[in-house]
Amino acid sequence: EPEPEPQPEPEQEPEPVHDRGIPDLIEAAFADLDDKTWAVAQNRVFTDQPSAVDQLAKLFAVPAAEIDQTETRLRARLGSWLASEEAAPYRAHLDELRSTLGPEAPKEAVIGAADWHRADIKALDVPAWQFVLATLAGDKPRFQAFTPVSAPEPHQGNGVVEEPEPQQPQTSKPYQPLKDVSQTRRCFRQPDGRWWLRVDVTAEQLGGGECALPTGFAAYLGLSPGETRTVRSAAGELTMTWHGRPVLESVERLLADVGAKEGGHLFLTLSDEGVLRARHLPVAAQGAENITKALRLVGYTAPGGTRDQAARVIATRIGMTGPVGLPELLTRLRERGDRDLLQLLD
């Protein structure tokens, strides 16, 4: 008997685009965020535990209104993307989730709704489910940061507002930064035992612009809110002020003295004698390995060695002690906000 002809295998249906392409769509849409917008995305927009605006403002040494504006721009950008043709597969995915889970779906249900929800969106450094959760309910932010609410004015039964009791003046406490210097991005402890701030030189600074100081580093130098200080340097006297945010006023002469160029790295600290010390490192060559680039960012210029050796050097430079693995180092860098180092080591 003739053998039966083999039946052709049924063609497998392709994986739906929203299961294989959406993370790439999101990555492409938010790949070019600056550090401040990236931090707002992580801590204000794509999170179920938003940080308070004033906390981020202190971290970046900017007025709270600037963080508000950054968040407004980011939410507008998110809204424009969600309405775009490129985001059509993602909108379809959201519609499906709303019909099956509802717009107020609990976190656990969102995490398990699709395999790719457990992946990370590297451009935002957040789990994909956080992005989904933030956009599931539409334009209205689903989660709000806790802010203390003032007690209502006391009223008598006859509708007359009672005068509050006079309060004793509070004694001012010494300023405590949101993060100390060891938890402050771009701050590294050098072999001399001092903490140095890395300033990535800009054209504006070369032209006489000011240099913003993170609050943790400013406090380390002994500067307090409302204070103005003059410090000596090899290039003459410089002024540090903290009015609104801490800054080192025009660093043009200092940059010229060390031969700094745009994109280079200027490391700053203050000596016991109150002298501002500066060290300049040119930017790593474009073709250099990521390890070499990462070490240059912490002020280390010896040959890079292995990834583990580089991790030990960087861990020491940010104040970590004892045996430190790469996962622990990456976690600490993420907490500090050292996004550039994360990208080079990840």
User: What percent of the chain has a predicted confidence (pLDDT) above 90?
Assistant: 47
Residue recorded with tokens 């739906």: 16
Where in the chain is CATH 2.40.330.10? 181-281
Which CB contacts under 8 angstroms, 24+ apart, belong to 322-325? none
Please list the residues that pair with 198 across neighbouring strands.
267
Examine the pLDDT at 77 and tell me if it is beyond 90.
Answer: yes
Examine the pLDDT at 163 and tell me if it is beyond 50.
Answer: no
Stretch 93-104: mean pLDDT, rounded? 90
Taking each continuous run of H as one helix and of E as one strand, the counts in the chain are 15, 10
Lowest mean pLDDT among 45-49, 79-83, 143-147, 152-156: 152-156
Greater model confidence, 20 or 313? 313
What the block records as the tokens of 233 is 């340097």
In 3-state terms, what secondary structure has residue 70? Answer: helix
Examine the pLDDT at 100 and tell me if it is beyond 70.
Answer: yes
Tell me: the pLDDT tens digits for 230-275? 999 989 999 999 988 899 998 999 999 989 999 999 999 998 888 8
CA distances to 68, 70, 79, 311, 337 from 142, rounded to whole Å, are 17, 18, 15, 38, 24
CA distances to 134, 187, 189 from 199, rounded to whole Å, are 34, 9, 14
Tell me: the pLDDT tens digits for 20-41? 589 999 999 998 887 788 888 9
CA proximity to 40, closest of 135, 165, 126, 142 = 126
CA proximity to 114, closest of 28, 16, 47 = 16
CA distances to 78, 175, 179, 230, 258 from 279, rounded to whole Å, are 40, 28, 24, 19, 7
What per-residue confidence (pLDDT) applies to 133? 92
Average pLDDT, the chain: 81
Q: Regarding the domain with residue range 181-281, which homologous superfamily does it belong to in the CATH classification?
A: DNA-binding pseudobarrel domain (2.40.330.10)
